[in-house]
Amino acid sequence: SSTALVPPSATHQRSPGRRRETQITRYASPEIEDRLALGGDVAVLFLYSYTQKSLDTIYAVTANYVDGIEVDEMDCFRDPSFAAAALSLAWLCGALPQGAFRFDVTRGGVNNALTTVAKCGGLSVAAVVLLLSIRAAAAGVPLSPQDAGFAAGILPIVGAWRYVLADTSAKL
């Protein structure tokens, strides 16, 4: 029959859900995407730390001029560089053993990416809060809720980045 002579790449024979190969996907390798995911995770945690410090500073300056506003600063994470490094280290310690940077996780779709963030981020936040609790107990002071809340920011910040990465990767 003459239909056998039509190449399978003809546009009328493509299934709608089939992924098309593009210039980017042809040359993308698992190592590149793994590094992109890892670098992005660390970059968004640094951006988060410095943004939070900027907002805290603006709030503290405003409190100097407006009566009735109390400044409630973080205890452990006052330095944004230290905060970013600590959160990045916690994230890496939670994510690397679970393979959060593997190619199939990076390209596995939004649901897979967010599940990975929930597992790895939950472990990371728990580890940071545990270390903050130990530090507070050793100093004889209560755990700072601002520090614990800041540490919990790992989940939405890395989750948003991974959502964008997974969604963009799925469209390529």
User: What is the Cα–Cα distance from 43 to 73, expressed in whole angstroms?
Assistant: 23
pLDDT of the chain, 172 residues: tens digit per residue:
445 555 555 555 444 554 444 444 444 555 666 778 888 999 999 999 999 999 888 888 888 888 877 777 778 888 999 999 999 999 999 888 888 887 677 777 788 888 888 888 899 999 999 999 999 999 888 888 899 999 999 999 998 888 888 888 766 6
pTM for the predicted model, two decimal places: 0.74
End-to-end CA distance of the chain: 35
